[in-house]
Amino acid sequence: MQILDGKALSDLIKSQIKEKVSARVSAGQKQPHLAAILVGNDGGSETYIASKIRSCEEIGFASTLIRLEDTITEAELLGHIKKINENADIDGLIVQLPLPKHMNVEKVIEATDPNKDVDGFHPVSVGRMVQGLPGFLPATPNGIMKILEHYKIETSGKECVVIGRSDIVGTPASILMSRNNNPGNATVTLCHSRTKNLKDHCLRADIIISATGIPNSVTADMVKDGAVVIDVGTTRVPDATKKSGFRLSGDVDFANVAPKCSYITPVPGGVGPMTIASLMLNTLLAAEGK
Ligand code: GUN
């Protein structure tokens, strides 16, 4: 069993980006610039945004964080997005999700200039991904592809079960795994809350990608010997032994599943750091597109 070390791979990718940025700046080009909007103060979102901004600083990107109260109107948020769209110095924009309930997420996502859509959430980006055209790939699924690629894990012709059909992870991961590409070319089954016989699907899988946010929902009896298990879950569960009062739990019962696997991602230190590395890659791509 080998651990897929997303933290180490993320550090490697970020150091490669840092070199490219310093070469760009030495050549008189501008620093790539990422803008992030955080509405409200959801604990998880605060943590993710803080590490995105920290990564920008580490690799030499400029960053702008716009913090907005969760009482602002959708129109006010759209106004901020419009200003960023029109700001030629800003290459990439992310609006951290989830948004407060009174906002229409689709409308907010569609308001982002597709050329700055470094989250890969805009329908233009999603359409380009489905058609295999160059564009911004969503960060978490692309991070998974980078892990599979780096560790030279064969995906072609393999049975892949994706659990969870969110727009952000499950659905795009299923598309990337099935595309005629490497990694890709897998036979993909997308399982979700209405799937009747999840265990039977999982037991056929050479590769399981779980993205439900339900701790310990992938158990050893669902995993065949030698499977590759990718755990996208990062759920906060109470833990009195931690200073913060919580720890992060994946979807996978790691202690019992790991011994059966050929490869498995840990939580934390697996897919999570790769999400940030992919976002940084997209931001560099956005800057280079100018
Ligand atoms: N919320 C959970 N994952 C993501 C992500 O990749 N991007 C944004 N903007 N919000 C998220």
Rounded to whole angstroms, how far apart are CA atoms 90 and 268? 31
Rounded to whole angstroms, how far apart are CA atoms 119 and 136? 7
**Ligand 1 atom closest to Cα of residue 119:** 7
Please, what is the end-to-end C-alpha distance for the chain in angstroms? 44
Residue nearest (by alpha carbon) to ligand 1 atom 6: 139
pLDDT along the chain (290 residues), means of 10: 98 98 97 98 94 98 98 98 98 98 98 98 98 97 98 98 98 98 98 98 99 98 98 96 95 98 98 98 93
Can 96 be counted among the known catalytic residues?
yes
- Provide the CATH topology of domain 28-113: Rossmann fold (3.40.50)
DSSP states of 32-61: PEEEEEEES--HHHHHHHHHHHHHHHHHT-
> Residue 200 in contact with residue 181, Cβ under 8 Å?
no
Ligand 1 pocket test: pick from 53, 97, 125 the residue with the most ligand atoms within 8 Å of its Cβ: 97
Q: Decide if 28-113 and 139-272 have a common fold.
A: yes
At 152-183, the pLDDT tens digits run: 999 999 999 999 999 999 999 999 999 999 99
Q: How many CB atoms lie within 10 A of CB 114?
A: 16
Can 242 be counted among the known catalytic residues?
no
Strand ranges (E), the chain? 2-3, 33-39, 62-68, 92-95, 159-163, 187-191, 207-210, 228-231, 235-238, 246-249, 263-264
Residue nearest (by alpha carbon) to ligand 1 atom 1: 97
Q: Would you list the domain boundaries of the chain? A: 28-113, 139-272
**278 touches ligand 1 (CB under 6 Å):** no
**119 touches ligand 1 (CB under 6 Å):** yes
pTM of the model: 0.97
**168 touches ligand 1 (CB under 6 Å):** yes
At 172-213, the pLDDT tens digits run: 999 999 999 999 999 999 999 999 999 999 999 999 999 999
> Residue 231 in contact with residue 254, Cβ under 8 Å?
yes
Ligand 1 pocket test: pick from 94, 212, 278 the residue with the most ligand atoms within 8 Å of its Cβ: 94
β-sheet bridge partners, residue 159: 187
Span 139-272 CATH architecture = 3-Layer(aba) Sandwich (3.40)
